[in-house]
Amino acid sequence: MQHQVTVYGAYGHTGRFVVAELVKRGWAPVLAGRDAAKLAALGDRFPGLARRVASTDDPMSLDRALAGSAAVINCAGPFAETAPALIEAALRSKIHYLDVAAEIEANLDTLANYEEQARDAGIIILPAMAFFGGLGDLLATAAVGDWPMADEISIAYGLSSWRPTAGTRAAGQVSRQRRGGRRVVYANGGLEYRDHPAPSGEWTFPTPLGTQPVATEFTMADAVTIPHHIPVKDIKSFMTSCAVSDLIDPASEQPTADDESGRSSQTFMVDVIARSNGDARRLSASGRDIYAVTAPLVVEAVERLFDGKTRPPGVYTAGQIFDARDFLQSLSAELRLAA
């Protein structure tokens, strides 16, 4: 038996992929968001689905949007602004909360602030269940395997391009403001802040990508999700230079659909190397469209929360709550894994 789930920010770029994935898997999601006109337009694409206008500054409207649902997926950024209100609504309704936040600071807040409340409400709170944050966490967890800790985890993002959405740009701006324009890295067992520009270098990805110029110390949300449950001294992050150029160019285009599903032609590879006591383990995943692949990641997570296996209530990350390797293998239609 499947449960009703509310998708907040359903008409956003990533939200539309999440709604389509839920429908494909036989769910009947509730479409929610602050813009009635955009909800109506999305409803035309998915006739028969309930639509509920709600705003994060109106708690009663959020309660109505979540009524009857067993979980809410928050797809509306910036998550520093939306996550607290949606989490509080999920706590009041006693339903599971998931989001697709890539914002480092927003995820830090979620992981740090709601454990006791989640236990008391009997719910699971699962942030960053997305390409940035969730996928790297799952890959790193699977690579670390039975090691009790890791000396170093390297995560290299091989994006053919980025073409960030307006939501990505807005979320990035909020994060930069919160840390005063400084960069953040995970070193010596914690987050550190630096003022100098990120160094450049090279990373040799598995074939067919090979050696690529990269920006080093390009920290993403997995620098928060991984150490939440894996003891690790250093997390080193890399991003292909062409993707960084797209991100910092204010004139770069937003993603454009390349097929009827709405996916772009962008390709990606996420390459993870874990090291401990002189040993190294590697695992990579490749696929198409970083925004579209977030949908099967978060919807698979929702389904696993209702698979009949008992999980204690609380705040988790993807690699912490799920069998990481089994989770990744279940998405073989979307992700190609290579050790």
For the stretch 6-18, pLDDT in tens is 999 999 999 999 9
By C-alpha distance, which of 77, 123, 121 is closest to 99? 77
pLDDT reported for residue 298: 98
**pLDDT, tens digit (0-9, with 9 covering 90-100), for 35-94:** 999 999 999 999 999 999 999 999 999 999 999 999 999 999 999 999 999 999 999 999
3-class SS at 191? strand
The two structure tokens encoding residue 81: 């602004």
Are 339 and 161 in contact, with CB atoms under 8 Å apart? no
Q: What is the pTM of this model?
A: 0.97
Q: Tell me the CA distances in angstroms from 58 to 34, 54, 61, 68, 117, one per residue in order.
A: 10, 7, 5, 18, 21
Q: Which amino acid is located at 203 in the chain? A: W
Question: What are residue 234's DSSP bridge partners?
Answer: 152
Q: What is the pLDDT of residue 181?
A: 87
CATH architecture of 5-130+294-338: 3-Layer(aba) Sandwich (3.40)
CA–CA separation, 6 and 51 (whole Å):
10
* pLDDT at residue 251, rounded to an integer: 85
CB neighbour class for 169 (10 Å; exposed up to 12, middle 13-18, buried from 19): middle
Give how far Cα 5 sits from Cα of 37, 267, 296, 339, Å: 21, 29, 15, 35
E-only strand ranges, the chain: 5-8, 30-33, 51-53, 71-74, 96-99, 124-126, 150-159, 183-187, 190-194, 200-204, 211-216, 232-240, 267-276, 279-288, 314-315, 336-338
220 pLDDT more than 90: yes
239 pLDDT exceeds 60? yes
CA distance 251 to 265: 19
Average pLDDT over the chain, rounded to whole? Answer: 95
Q: What's the token pair of residue 131?
A: 């390409």
pLDDT in tens, 227-237: 999 999 999 99
**Exposed, middle or buried, 128 (CB in 10 Å: 0-12/13-18/19+)?**
buried
CA dist., res. 284 & res. 301, Å (int): 20
Two tokens at 197? 């520009």
For residues 72 and 98, give the distance between their C-alpha atoms in angstroms, rounded to a whole number: 6
Q: For 99-103, 113-117, 146-150, 165-169, which range has the lowest pLDDT when averaged over its residues?
A: 165-169
For position 50, what pLDDT does the model report?
97
Least confident window among 173-182, 187-196, 222-231: 173-182
SS3 287: strand
46-50, 163-167, 239-243: segment of lowest average pLDDT: 163-167
Task: Locate the domains of the chain by residue range.
Answer: 5-130+294-338, 132-288
Nearest to 81 by CA among 61, 67, 111, 101: 101
At residue 97, the 3 state secondary structure works out as: strand
- Could you tell me which residue, 106 or 176, shows the higher pLDDT? 106
Q: At what angle do helices 104-113 and 79-93 cross, to 10 degrees?
A: 30
pLDDT score, position 2? 66
The per-residue pLDDT for 308 is: 86
Beta bridge partners of 272: 155, 283
What pLDDT does 197 receive? Answer: 83
Read off the tokens for 113.
């602030």
**CATH annotation of 132-288:** 3.30.360.10
Per-residue pLDDT tens for 112-149?
999 999 999 999 999 999 999 999 999 999 999 999 99
